[in-house]
Amino acid sequence: MVLFRKAITKLEEILNKKTALQKNLYQPYIPISTDIDKLCSNLCDLLGLEEMVLRTMWLEYEQFSQSQNYAEILGERKTLATEEAFIIYVLASNFRPQNFVEIGTQHGRSTRRIIDLAQRLGLNASITCFDIVNLVKHFSPDEANLVLKDITETVKEDIFGCYESGIIYLDAHPYYLLKNVLKTFLKYQNWILVIHDCSRGLCNPQMNLSREDVLGITSLTGHWERHVLAEIFNVDDVMSDCLNYGQTESHVRMIFDTPHGICVILPKCFLSYE
């Protein structure tokens, strides 16, 4: 019965998406599954790791996630899904960051996963979270430091001026916050940036929302992530495959086909094969 319901849900999603495309209308689309083979292969391509190593890590992390009951407690939609947390897990395992900085914390569901994966990997890393209101339910103050502040205009001072290096996880949607974080990040060579909600399914090509509107952004309006990435990296079409992978003189980026779309940008100097 459960498999039947999933099949019906998948069919409805496909039909709704097809109808929206035929009408040239935007409709948010979050797939219910991820091609794990493709995910591991893409991670291998990006990081230069052995595919068998990645597959073993996936099986271990999937089992760990199930033991933590994340799917029931934290959910898998409109938050960091298991496949997406796995990407951060691989990055953290490979690069051993001293700091995690999360921008856009809300209830702390993604934070919970980051705290736990850092502990599992034996990382003695600080975890700092930025948001404008305290809605935290899933971690305690002794596990992560919540800073209540809009850092749109103070990204350099509040992150890069306070911490030497680490992983930034960005899950906030205001246009100018995204743009300022990305532009500032690209000036440095010792940070990794992970951006949530970069899938085509959450990108409205005809974005009608004002760039100054920070409260009206939802999946129904579409998100700014691909628009900002396209602007910064000079890609004409926000829906183009060209946006999903690319390089500058200093950085490499890849958008992974996960439920919400995870973009990873890291310095070339971090990659041994470059």
pLDDT of 21 reads 45
CATH code for position 264: 3.40.50.150
Domain with 170, as residue range(s), is 28-270
Q: Stretch 90-115: mean pLDDT, rounded?
A: 98
| Torsion (CA) 31, 35, 40, 42 in degrees, nearest 10 | -70
Distance CA 192, CA 165 (A): 8
- Buried b or exposed e, range 125-142, using 16+ CB within 10 angstroms: bebbbbbeeeebebbeee
Residue 17 in domain: no
Distance CA 120, CA 89 (A): 9
- The beta-strand segments (E) located in the chain are 99-103, 126-131, 145-148, 166-170, 191-195, 245-247, 251-256, 262-267
Per residue in 39-77, pLDDT (tens digit) is: 999 999 999 999 999 999 999 999 999 999 999 999 999
Residue 61 in domain: yes
pLDDT of 91 reads 99
Percent of the chain with pLDDT over 90: 89
Residues in the chain: 274
pLDDT of 2 reads 44
Percent of the chain with pLDDT over 70: 91
Q: What is the mean pLDDT of the chain?
A: 93
- Buried b or exposed e, range 70-90, using 16+ CB within 10 angstroms: beeebebebbbbbbbbbbbbb
Residue 39 in domain: yes
* Total tally of structural domains belonging to the chain: 1
> Mean pLDDT lowest for which of 22-31, 49-58, 76-85, 231-240?
22-31
Asked whether the predicted pLDDT for residue 5 surpasses 60, the reply is no
pLDDT of 13 reads 57
Residue 165 in domain: yes
Side-chain-facing half-sphere of 91: CA atoms under 13 Å: 28
